[in-house]
């Protein structure tokens, strides 16, 4: 069973994988993709990037809290 930190790290890794897949699809825009599909992918990419940033901040916060407790 994973603890909270491991779960957050695993979630971050999975999210980065998904974000990378969207980034690759956007970079390889094919002519059969509609403008709407591209807009949706761009929005998904933006939201996922924001979520990655939030998750990284949370992980850093918990790591900093641990360091504070270790140093006490």
Q: Do the beta carbons of residue 29 and residue 45 sit within 8 Å? A: no
65 pLDDT more than 90? no
At 13-55, the pLDDT tens digits run 999 999 999 999 888 877 778 889 989 999 999 999 999 999 8
Classify each residue of 17-55 as buried b or exposed e, where b means 16 or more C-beta atoms within 10 Å of its C-beta. Answer: eebeebeebeeeeeeeeeeeeeeebeeebeebeeebeeb
């Amino acid at each position: 069973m994973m603890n909270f930190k491991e779960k957050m790290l695993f979630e971050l890794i999975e999210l980065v994988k998904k974000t990378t897949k969207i980034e690759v699809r956007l970079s390889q825009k094919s002519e059969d993709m509609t403008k709407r599909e591209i807009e949706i992918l761009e929005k998904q990419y933006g939201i996922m990037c924001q979520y990655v940033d939030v998750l990284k901040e949370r992980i850093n916060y918990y790591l900093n809290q641990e360091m504070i407790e270790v140093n006490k």
